[in-house]
């Protein structure tokens, strides 16, 4: 069966389905092609199911370790691991169904199957049995095929003993020991999750700190917190190889030129992701791929092939769902001839949902200095916040970095309670090009955690009230 | 301080002057603006006032001696030198702004220029420069509006704008000092700095600091007065303040943000481009067109009043508008307006224009319209009926022996001005077409000189361009008539061919003549109109 559309989107993740909805809103006859459930990694195997798991961890951690502090008596506290996993899968299913509904609501044709380019305006869709089920032709095609966990030969993933994030959120039983390779957001979230439930976790990072993209002080605070949880941390450490030996996995590491062998029943490969660029005919239509990612012009998101666009993880970092969505919307609006402002890559918040949470935007202190800015730094610890004391979450701080010359917010870094929500205010402030005064003179409600944002801004100019 | 008095430059081509009389002798006290000597050049004899108050200590050129422009002819010792140091200190603290006497360099006073015989005051409507800016000689310094004309005033010297005394929208009398420029060449009034007087150097430094301070505060004042409702982020405003970008300059920078918002990045790109010279600061011509375009869209209401009928915007009347108002009321109160109308068959001219418009455009670079033909016909009629080309003064009728033809020009957004074509009777159609085009352009670009708008003898107003068929125009005083031109439209008209009436389609036009019944009676008005009609209907195309 052959169908003709204005816009066809290959891939139904947070980049693809959002682009499809925006295209439909703008009056394009639109199709979205996806072999699995809509929502991509984010809704099915990433953001949403992991946040569900982390909620379990948070509650259990609170009951298990802090009940007494709140005067609560908990006896016989236990958990059912398979049920924790089950809840996570249910949450995922629910939200993906929501996306299916949105497709119908916006009259987008949802084509199930694996799409491959026939030519630059035609995608052939194959079903489970790899038989041709549909042929989709469209004036414009947007590639939003996403990314997958990066694999390297020295860490051979077998999906049982050496696993990726996908398996880590659907294990049948809880591992006793786990070695997490890579201390990015995915690595530290799983390290936190499994350690709360009693798994002996070791985390290995090649760079010199946990969450290496974050501000150094944030990394240090997280490291202290993780050490308290008895998570073993190896930074500046290289993994030479990982081998499955009977029931265990042996991981050979090298730190300061010295080799060491660690053992665990499960190893999580969390070294990063890379674009899905193979197996759907990119080479056939001549789309240029560079180091595992499609090359695009970021003022249109067009590839080197006329009428073929690409957005989201497949075009490279930052690999974030909200970036994919923003790119998808921009791409379609630009197609329509609207004049959207460029995606503001310098103002993209990054969030990590371990405990304490991390939310950040813009430049770190080190980066700002490297770029030659003269800076003013304001910091406010949650230990000085009334609301933090009340809820018993006194770990962490808000740190804001201003350009001394023009008062611009260069970056903001929050580690602590609800950091991932608190960062939103600074995202808005940054994109509106607010300065220190704008934040300080905005009345923040008391008692809230968000007061800490105001205080941190004030602190940069020596006007903080509560420290 | 000793101040050199030099032979002044009296005109572009005048390089020397002869002193014919000294009004003061050595040792005399001289007041500022008091005549000290008289010179004669090949163009003009003139009396030269002193630029300073003080004592004439030296005369270097004697009567009947001819000296070159710029050469020192006398030296005046100013009072301040005699004063004690303490007095100087006091004076320094009293003076808020650098004054001519204190600054070691050459401060040139810029007065409100005289724009015409009857023009006594002017309103500064825009400063193109701010304190601290470099100014080239002949570069536009500010723009003024008088009751006759808006015009740009160029700087007489090269230098740095040291002080703005009259702010925008302030009205001052002709001759009053509106600014001071610190000249880098120092020509017109040379001064000798007394090198021994150390305190003066300090003063100069203080003055300089004052100037810098003033310039930054000026920029802040700009920034505190947003002229549009465009949103500027705090960071953008901070950058503008630090980089001294006034608001009106910000307004002209394109934004790439949401709904055209000006982002930090846009501003940095702009600054970068400006630094590298690919964006020059907007030139005066751009200055003029931009704001007027904006104003056609909306008036700037100073406040909004709410009444039971709804909201009312209160728009302060600008100078031009209030002058137009005055002129209109004055004309209505002076002349007894009556209006006569006539219908004109424009077939011949219409056909001529249709045939020749492309060639004309190619040859002359301007569009051929009906106006030069109508002007030509009106000039012909004025020659026949000189009383229409006249004015009334007391009990006398002044019959003009020249025809300076006024053309009413609408100036966006809400201006109206009547420049005239001097000796229009000496021009043919081609010459009239060019002259009409030229004064129209000048009027719209605010390039009119006082000369262009004075001395008119008769006016034509073309309300037909807006589609009006006929109107009853108001006479441009002190003239006694005005010709209104309606739009040319094709109409069915009855024509008589060989004694048989038939209907033909013809391009027709109504002309109206509003005339002052005190002088021009119905008969004269009617005959005048008929003469215009006859010229147009029987146009000799060989005249073009």
pLDDT tens digits for A204-225? 999 999 999 999 999 999 999 9
Report yes or no on B479 lying in a domain. Answer: yes
CB atoms within 10 A of CB B297: 7
CATH of the domain at A215: 3.50.50.60
Find the residue in A nearest to B255 (Cα): A341
Contact across the interface for B234 and A405, Cβ inside 8 Å: no
Angle at B209 between CA B205 and CA B214, to 5 degrees: 145
Give the best-scoring range by mean pLDDT among A357-366, B49-58, B301-310. A357-366
Q: Give the relative orientation of helices B198-224 and B85-94 as an angle to the nearest 10 degrees.
A: 0
- Asked if A406 has any chain B CB less than 8 Å from its own CB, the reply is yes
- Best of A433, A437, A438 to mutate (most B CBs within 10 Å, chain B): A433
pLDDT tens digits for B193-219? 443 444 444 444 444 444 444 343 333
Based on the structure, what is the number of domains in chain A? 3
Give the best-scoring range by mean pLDDT among A31-40, B229-238, B273-282, B451-460. A31-40
- Best of A347, A406, A408, A437 to mutate (most B CBs within 10 Å, chain B): A406
- List CB contacts (< 8 A) between A438 and chain B: 234
The mean pLDDT of B499-519, rounded to a whole number, is 92
pLDDT band for position B302 (50/70/90)?
low
Q: Enter the tokens of residue B517.
A: 């019944």
CB A431 within 8 A of CB A347: yes
Q: Which residues, at least 6 apart from B269, have a Cβ–Cβ distance to it below 8 Å? A: none
Picking from B238, B261, B263, the nearest residue to A407 by CB comes out as B238
pLDDT of residue A41: 92
- List CB contacts (< 8 A) between B238 and chain A: 406-408, 435
Q: What is the average pLDDT score of chain B?
A: 78
Angle at A433 between CA A432 and CA A434, to 5 degrees: 95
The mean pLDDT of A339-364, rounded to a whole number, is 94
Helix (H) or strand (E) holding B307: strand B303-307
Picking from B235, B257, B258, the nearest residue to A408 by CB comes out as B235
The mean pLDDT of A31-60, rounded to a whole number, is 95
Report yes or no on A345 lying in a domain. Answer: no
pLDDT band for position B265 (50/70/90)?
confident
pLDDT of residue B26: 82
Residue ranges of E strands in B442-487: 458-461, 481-485
> Are A368 and A279 members of one domain?
no
| Residue A86 dihedral angles phi and psi, to the nearest 5° | -60, -45
In 3D space, the residue among A121, A83, A147, A150 whose CA is nearest the CA of residue A7 turns out to be: A121
Please give the DSSP secondary-structure letter assigned to residue B232.
B
d(CA B363, CA A98): 71
Share of chain B above pLDDT 90, in %: 25
Contact across the interface for B234 and A438, Cβ inside 8 Å: yes
Q: Residue B191's domain spans which residues?
A: 2-113+122-139+155-209
CB atoms within 10 A of CB B117: 8
Cα–Cα distance list, A390 to A67, A72, B440 (Å): 14, 15, 76
Lowest mean pLDDT among A98-102, A189-193, B175-179, B460-464: B175-179
d(CA B167, CA B111): 13
> Are A375 and A323 members of one domain?
no
SS3 B533: helix
Active site residue B517: yes
Report yes or no on A130 lying in a domain. Answer: yes
- Asked if B242 has any chain A CB less than 8 Å from its own CB, the reply is yes
> Are A319 and A396 members of one domain?
no
Report yes or no on B447 lying in a domain. Answer: yes
pLDDT tens digits for A184-207? 999 999 999 999 999 999 999 999
Picking from A341, A342, A434, the nearest residue to B234 by CB comes out as A434
> Are A12 and A123 members of one domain?
yes
CA B200, distance to chain mean position in Å, is 39
SS3 A186: helix
pLDDT band for position B103 (50/70/90)?
very low
Helix (H), strand (E) counts: chain A: 14, 24
Based on the structure, what is the number of domains in chain B? 2
CATH of the domain at B433: 3.30.559.10
Report yes or no on B284 lying in a domain. Answer: no
- Best of B230, B231, B233, B264 to mutate (most A CBs within 10 Å, chain A): B233
Picking from B242, B261, B263, the nearest residue to A406 by CB comes out as B242
d(CA B137, CA B114): 19
Find the residue in A nearest to B231 (Cα): A432
Q: Enter the tokens of residue A423.
A: 């960062």
pLDDT of residue B3: 82
Report yes or no on A350 lying in a domain. Answer: no
State the pTM of this model: 0.56
CB B406 within 8 A of CB B458: yes
Q: Enter the tokens of residue B218.
A: 């000026």
Please give the DSSP secondary-structure letter assigned to residue B221.
H
d(CA B141, CA B135): 8
Helix (H) or strand (E) holding A439: helix A436-440
> Are A369 and A441 members of one domain?
yes
CB A457 within 8 A of CB A407: no
The mean pLDDT of A129-133, rounded to a whole number, is 92
Picking from A341, A342, A407, the nearest residue to B234 by CB comes out as A407
> Are A139 and A15 members of one domain?
yes
Give strand pairing partners of B19. B39
pLDDT band for position B441 (50/70/90)?
confident
pLDDT band for position B448 (50/70/90)?
confident
How many Cα neighbours within 13 Å face the side chain of A155? 26
d(CA B121, CA B111): 11
Picking from B233, B242, B256, the nearest residue to A433 by CB comes out as B233
Contact across the interface for A433 and B242, Cβ inside 8 Å: no
> Are B451 and B325 members of one domain?
yes
pLDDT band for position A242 (50/70/90)?
very high
Is residue A228 exposed (0-12), middle (13-18) or buried (19+ Cβ within 10 Å)? exposed
Pairing relationship of beta strands A232-234 and B54-59 according to DSSP bridges: unpaired
- Asked if B478 has any chain A CB less than 8 Å from its own CB, the reply is no
- List CB contacts (< 8 A) between A341 and chain B: 256-258, 261, 263
| Residue A95 dihedral angles phi and psi, to the nearest 5° | -70, -35
pLDDT band for position B28 (50/70/90)?
confident
Active site residue B515: no
CB B159 within 8 A of CB B98: no
> Are A20 and A133 members of one domain?
yes
Report yes or no on B193 lying in a domain. Answer: yes
> Which one has a higher pLDDT value, B281 or A55?
A55
Report yes or no on A432 lying in a domain. Answer: yes
CATH of the domain at A443: 3.30.390.30
pLDDT of residue B91: 44
pLDDT tens digits for B113-158? 877 666 778 888 888 888 888 888 778 888 888 766 778 888 877 8
> Are A117 and A144 members of one domain?
yes
Give strand pairing partners of A7. A30, A140
CB atoms within 10 A of CB B316: 12
pLDDT band for position B406 (50/70/90)?
very high
> Are A252 and A285 members of one domain?
no
Report yes or no on A340 lying in a domain. Answer: no
Contact across the interface for B256 and A435, Cβ inside 8 Å: no
The mean pLDDT of A302-329, rounded to a whole number, is 96
Dihedral-angle region of residue B234 (phi above 0 means left; psi in -120 to 50 means alpha; beta otherwise):
alpha
In 3D space, the residue among A52, A25, A170, A51 whose CA is nearest the CA of residue A106 turns out to be: A25
Pairing relationship of beta strands A237-245 and A248-255 according to DSSP bridges: antiparallel
Is it the case that residue A145 has pLDDT exceeding 90? yes
> Are A9 and A113 members of one domain?
yes
CB A10 within 8 A of CB A82: no
pLDDT of residue B128: 87
Contact across the interface for B235 and A341, Cβ inside 8 Å: no
Contact across the interface for A433 and B256, Cβ inside 8 Å: no
pLDDT of residue B293: 36
- Asked if B231 has any chain A CB less than 8 Å from its own CB, the reply is no
> Are B385 and B529 members of one domain?
yes
> Are A413 and A448 members of one domain?
yes
Chain A nearest-CA distance from B134, in A, is 26
> Which one has a higher pLDDT value, A72 or B57?
A72
Q: Which residues, at least 6 apart from A325, have a Cβ–Cβ distance to it below 8 Å? A: A14, A15, A18
d(CA A218, CA A209): 10
The mean pLDDT of A329-344, rounded to a whole number, is 92
The mean pLDDT of B5-33, rounded to a whole number, is 80
d(CA B349, CA B485): 15
Helix (H), strand (E) counts: chain B: 13, 30
SS3 B506: strand
CB B218 within 8 A of CB B165: no
Chain A nearest-CA distance from B168, in A, is 29
**Which of B327, B521, B534, B540 does the annotation list as catalytic?**
B521
SS3 B79: helix
**Which of A66, A293, A322, A446 does the annotation list as catalytic?**
A446
Q: Which of A271, A294, A312 is the last residue of a domain?
A: A271
Chain B nearest-CA distance from A410, in A, is 11
> Are A314 and A446 members of one domain?
no
Report yes or no on B393 lying in a domain. Answer: yes
Find the residue in B nearest to A407 (Cα): B235
Report yes or no on B423 lying in a domain. Answer: yes
The mean pLDDT of A281-292, rounded to a whole number, is 94
pLDDT of residue B195: 39
CATH of the domain at B94: 2.40.50.100
Q: Residue A278's domain spans which residues?
A: 2-149+274-335
pLDDT tens digits for A400-444? 999 999 999 999 999 999 999 999 999 999 989 999 999 999 999
Cα–Cα distance list, A115 to A40, A126, A329, B503, B506 (Å): 15, 6, 22, 74, 69
Chain B nearest-CA distance from A407, in A, is 6
Give strand pairing partners of A117. A123
Q: Which residues, at least 6 apart from A97, have a Cβ–Cβ distance to it below 8 Å? A: none
- Asked if A433 has any chain B CB less than 8 Å from its own CB, the reply is yes
pLDDT of residue B188: 35
Helix (H) or strand (E) holding A425: helix A419-431
pLDDT of residue B47: 79
- List CB contacts (< 8 A) between A437 and chain B: 234
Q: Enter the tokens of residue B374.
A: 């109508």
Lowest mean pLDDT among A158-162, B64-68, B518-522: B64-68
Dihedral-angle region of residue B12 (phi above 0 means left; psi in -120 to 50 means alpha; beta otherwise):
alpha
CA A309, distance to chain mean position in Å, is 23
Find the residue in A nearest to B241 (Cα): A406
Report yes or no on A234 lying in a domain. Answer: yes
SS3 B497: strand
Lowest mean pLDDT among A303-312, B79-88, B345-354, B515-524: B79-88
Q: Which of A245, A271, A297 is the last residue of a domain?
A: A271
Chain A nearest-CA distance from B542, in A, is 55
Task: Return the residue matching tokens 């006091």.
Answer: B90
pLDDT of residue B89: 44
Report yes or no on A347 lying in a domain. Answer: no
pLDDT band for position B93 (50/70/90)?
very low
Report yes or no on A154 lying in a domain. Answer: no
């Amino acid at each position: 069966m052959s169908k003709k559309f204005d816009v066809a989107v290959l891939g139904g993740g947070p980049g693809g389905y959002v682009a499809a909805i925006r295209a439909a809103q703008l009056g394009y006859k639109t199709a979205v092609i996806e072999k699995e459930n809509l929502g991509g990694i984010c809704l099915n195997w990433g953001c949403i199911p992991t946040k569900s798991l982390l909620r379990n961890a948070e509650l259990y951690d609170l009951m298990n370790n802090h009940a007494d502090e709140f005067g609560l008596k908990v006896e016989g506290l236990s958990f059912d691991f398979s049920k924790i996993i089950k809840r996570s899968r249910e949450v995922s299913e629910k939200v993906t169904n929501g996306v299916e509904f949105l497709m119908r609501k916006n009259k987008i044709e949802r084509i199930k199957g694996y799409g491959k380019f026939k030519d630059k305006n035609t995608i052939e869709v194959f079903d489970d049995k790899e038989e041709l089920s549909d042929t989709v032709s469209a004036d414009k095609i947007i590639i939003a095929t996403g990314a997958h966990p990066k694999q390297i030969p020295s860490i051979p993933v077998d999906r049982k003993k050496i696993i990726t994030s996908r398996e880590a959120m659907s294990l049948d039983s809880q591992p006793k020991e786990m070695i997490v390779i890579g201390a990015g957001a995915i690595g530290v979230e799983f390290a936190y999750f499994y350690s709360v439930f009693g798994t002996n976790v070791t985390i290995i990072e090649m760079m010199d700190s946990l969450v290496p993209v974050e501000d150094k002080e944030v990394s240090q605070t997280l490291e202290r917190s993780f050490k308290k949880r008895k998570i073993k941390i190896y930074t500046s450490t290289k993994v030479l190889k990982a081998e499955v030996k009977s029931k265990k996995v042996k991981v050979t590491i090298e730190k300061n030129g010295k080799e060491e062998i660690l053992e665990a029943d499960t190893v999580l490969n969390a070294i990063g992701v890379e674009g899905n660029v193979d197996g759907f005919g990119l080479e056939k239509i001549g789309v240029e791929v560079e180091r595992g990612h499609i090359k695009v012009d970021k003022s249109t998101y067009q590839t080197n092939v006329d009428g073929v666009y690409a957005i989201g993880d497949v075009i490279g970092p930052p690999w974030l769902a909200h970036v994919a969505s923003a790119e998808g919307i921009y791409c379609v609006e630009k197609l329509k001839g609207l004049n959207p402002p460029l995606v503001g890559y310098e103002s993209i918040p990054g969030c990590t949902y371990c405990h304490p949470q991390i939310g950040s935007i813009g430049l770190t202190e080190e980066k700002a200095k490297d770029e030659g800015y003269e800076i003013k730094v304001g910091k406010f610890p949650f230990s000085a916040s009334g609301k933090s004391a009340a809820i018993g979450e006194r770990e962490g701080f808000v740190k804001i970095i201003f350009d001394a010359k023009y008062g611009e917010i260069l970056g903001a870094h929050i580690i602590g309670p609800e950091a991932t929500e608190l960062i939103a205010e600074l995202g808005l402030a940054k994109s509106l090009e607010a300065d220190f005064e704008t934040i300080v003179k905005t009345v923040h409600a008391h008692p809230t955690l968000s007061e800490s944002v105001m205080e941190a801004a004030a602190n940069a100019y020596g006007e903080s009230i509560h420290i | 301080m000793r101040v050199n008095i030099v032979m002044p430059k009296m005109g572009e081509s005048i390089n020397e002057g002869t002193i014919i009389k000294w009004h003061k002798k050595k040792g005399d006290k001289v007041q500022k603006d008091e005549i000290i000597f008289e010179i004669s050049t090949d163009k003009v004899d003139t009396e030269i006032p002193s630029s300073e108050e003080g004592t004439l200590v030296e005369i270097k050129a004697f009567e009947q001696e001819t000296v070159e422009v710029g050469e020192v002819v006398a030296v005046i010792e100013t009072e301040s030198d005699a004063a004690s140091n303490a007095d100087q200190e006091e004076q320094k603290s009293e003076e808020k702004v650098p004054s001519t006497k204190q600054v070691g360099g050459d401060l040139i006073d810029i007065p409100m220029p005289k724009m015409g015989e009857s023009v006594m005051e002017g309103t500064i409507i825009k400063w193109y420069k701010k304190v601290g800016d470099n100014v080239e000689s002949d570069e536009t310094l500010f723009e003024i509006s008088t009751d006759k004309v808006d015009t740009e005033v160029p700087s007489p010297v090269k230098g740095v704008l040291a002080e703005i005394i009259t702010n925008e929208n302030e009205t001052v009398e002709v001759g009053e000092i509106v600014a001071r420029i610190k000249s880098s060449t120092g020509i017109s009034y040379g001064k000798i700095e007394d090198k021994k007087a150390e305190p003066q150097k300090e003063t100069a430094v203080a003055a300089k600091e004052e100037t810098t301070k003033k310039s930054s505060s000026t920029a802040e004042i700009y920034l505190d007065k947003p002229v549009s409702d465009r949103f500027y982020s705090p960071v953008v405003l901070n950058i503008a303040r630090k980089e001294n970008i006034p608001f009106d300059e910000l307004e002209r920078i394109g934004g790439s943000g949401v709904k055209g918002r000006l982002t930090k990045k846009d501003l940095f790109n702009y600054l970068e481009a400006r630094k590298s010279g690919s964006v020059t600061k907007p030139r005066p011509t751009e200055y003029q067109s931009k704001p007027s375009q904006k104003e056609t869209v909306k008036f700037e209401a100073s406040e909004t009043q709410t009444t039971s009928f709804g909201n009312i915007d209160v728009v302060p009347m600008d100078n031009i508008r209030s002058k137009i108002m005055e002129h209109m009321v004055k004309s209505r109160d002076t002349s007894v307006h009556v209006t006569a109308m006539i219908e004109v068959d424009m077939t011949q001219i219409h056909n001529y224009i249709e045939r020749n418009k492309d060639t004309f455009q190619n040859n002359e670079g301007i569009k051929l319209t009906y106006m030069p033909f109508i002007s030509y016909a009106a000039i012909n009629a004025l020659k026949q009926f000189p009383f229409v080309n006249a004015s009334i003064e007391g009990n006398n009728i002044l019959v003009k022996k020249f025809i300076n033809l006024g053309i009413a020009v609408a100036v966006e957004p809400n201006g109206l001005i009547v420049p005239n074509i001097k000796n229009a009777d000496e021009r043919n159609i081609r010459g009239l077409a060019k002259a009409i085009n030229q004064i129209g352009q000048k009027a719209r670009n605010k390039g009119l000189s006082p000369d262009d708008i004075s001395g008119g003898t008769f006016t034509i107003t073309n309300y037909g361009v807006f589609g009006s068929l006929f109107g009853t125009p108001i006479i441009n005083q002190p003239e006694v008539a005005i010709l209104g031109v309606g739009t040319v439209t094709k109409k069915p008209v009855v024509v008589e061919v060989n004694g048989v009436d038939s209907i033909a389609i013809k391009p027709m036009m109504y002309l109206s003549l509003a005339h002052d019944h005190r002088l021009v009676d119905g008969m004269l008005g009617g005959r005048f109109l008929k003469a215009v009609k006859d010229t147009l209907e029987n146009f000799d195309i060989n005249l073009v």
